[in-house]
Amino acid sequence: MMRHLSSVLRFLLMGAAVAALLAGCSSSSRDEPLFYNSKRPGGQAAAPVQEVPADILTAQRGFTAVSRAVTPCVVNISTVGRRTIVRPLPDLPPFFEEFFGGPEVRQNRSLGSGFIISRDGYIVTNEHVVRDAASIQVKLSNDKVYQARIVGGDAKTDIAVIKIGARDLPVAVLGDSDRLEAGQWAIAIGNPFGLEGSMTVGVISATGRSNVGIEPIENFIQTDAAINPGNSGGPLLNIHGEVVGINTAIVAAGQGIGFAIPVNMAKPIITQLVATGKVTRAWLGVSIQPVPADQLQRLGVRSTDGALVAEVIPGGPAAQGGIRSGDLIVSFAGSQVRDPAHLQRLVAAARIGAPVPVGVVRHRHHLTITLVTAKADDARPLRSGGRPR
């Protein structure tokens, strides 16, 4: 009996203790705020980190300044493609459509970005953003919307210029992409997935990327600043807010691998598009290929730099200048040739009809040949079916 009373008494005492503890917690919680505001705007709590390194604060202010200064120059581009007619049974005559249904009419829609280069409404974007567009709508950062027309486009570099009817617009400042180095800050502003004015930050991962398989003429800046669908045509910026590239493509299978067209490559193309609506390039009149490693000894060179001439088009600029099949082109207009893609870019940028010195290696001898380039429109087909340069 005494043991039973003792157990009951212990149980009652434990219950009272628990009740007192709960009452104490309840009373204490009512004295505490639901959340803590920072003291910096006049709240109750100090910031968890009091001393932020000065260089981090400086970098943050730099990114904010770039966003405020450049975002008004970036536009949102939406297009409606030309109508396409899809027949349900294309092999049957139109008579059977009465029974199987008529053709289906579709319109393609796409989103992209661009940046304003003149106060009277010239805008640079990617050619693939406005390709086959029946209508183009441009939305500015102040929410004003304009209809745009295509001034000109260049599919080989994926650059286009469009125009809106506006005045006194904010303009982007074009920088010098030749001064870029891996590791420098890279800032992208655009409209990924229609999210207007989005800014992402990364670094320049590499420069001079070619043979990527995106465009016929490639000299890409690689960056890990996040680029997504809808960023195409928007600017890639340095920390000064200068445009150093035009965001163009991503590697869908990877992360942090985006490509931008160098602005120095784009400047002469933009100039031609505004002036004439098209791009006219120089033509050399040769078929070229990489230098095989097993031919270094025959050529008398130590590296695979340069472009080996596989075929010379009769009557073309190269043939008239004296270049032969089997020659190794090692320089063009004073620039050392790294590979066939590099030579293609040098020729495309050359003045048409002007004398150009070309350095070649022939039978282990170095020669300098002067030739005059012609228009690429005058290019003749190669017998082998290759692409002329």
**Residue 128 is among the residues annotated as catalytic for this protein:** yes
Token digits of residue 45: 């709590």
Catalytic residue among 232, 287, 331, 342: 232
Give per-residue pLDDT as tens, 295-342. 888 888 888 999 999 999 998 999 999 999 999 999 999 999 998 989
pLDDT band for position 40 (cuts 50, 70, 90): confident
Three-state DSSP class for 55?
helix
Q: To which residue do tokens 């505004």 refer? A: 274
∠ CA(263), CA(264), CA(266), 5° rounding? 60
Residue 386: per-residue pLDDT: 44
Q: What is the CA radius of gyration of the chain?
A: 32
The pLDDT assigned to 254 comes to 77
- Return the higher-pLDDT residue of 12 and 316: 316
Q: What integer pLDDT is reported at residue 2 of this predicted model? A: 46
Predicted pLDDT of residue 182:
96
Residue 180 has pLDDT above 60, yes or no: yes
- Statement: residue 21 has pLDDT above 60: no
Domain range 282-378, CATH class: mainly beta
Domain boundaries defined on the chain: 177-276, 282-378
Is the distance from CB of 231 to CB of 190 less than 8 angstroms? yes
pLDDT higher than threshold 90 for residue 6: no
Q: How far apart are CA 151 and CA 161, in angstroms?
A: 5
Q: Are 190 and 67 in contact (CB under 8 A)?
A: no
Out of 67, 110, 113, 128, the active site residue is 128
> How far is it, in rounded angstroms, from Cα 122 to Cα 174?
14
- Identify the pLDDT of residue 388: 47
Q: Tokens 């017998």, residue?
A: 383
pTM of the predicted protein model: 0.78
**Which CATH class, in words, describes the domain spanning 177-276?**
mainly beta
pLDDT tens profile 191-206: 999 899 999 999 999 9
| Residue 6 a catalytic site member | no
Q: What integer is the mean pLDDT of 359-368?
A: 92
Amino acid 174: pLDDT? 97
pLDDT at 27 over 50: no
The answer to whether residue 110 is catalytic is no
pLDDT for the residue 256:
87
- Nearest alpha carbon to residue 287 among 359, 197, 350, 347: 347
How far apart are the C-alpha atoms of 60 and 347, rounded to whole Å?
Answer: 42
Identify the weakest region by mean pLDDT among 36-40, 59-63, 272-276, 365-369.
36-40
Annotated catalytic residue: which of 78, 154, 158, 210? 158
Mean pLDDT of 28-45: 76
Fold match, 177-276 / 282-378: no
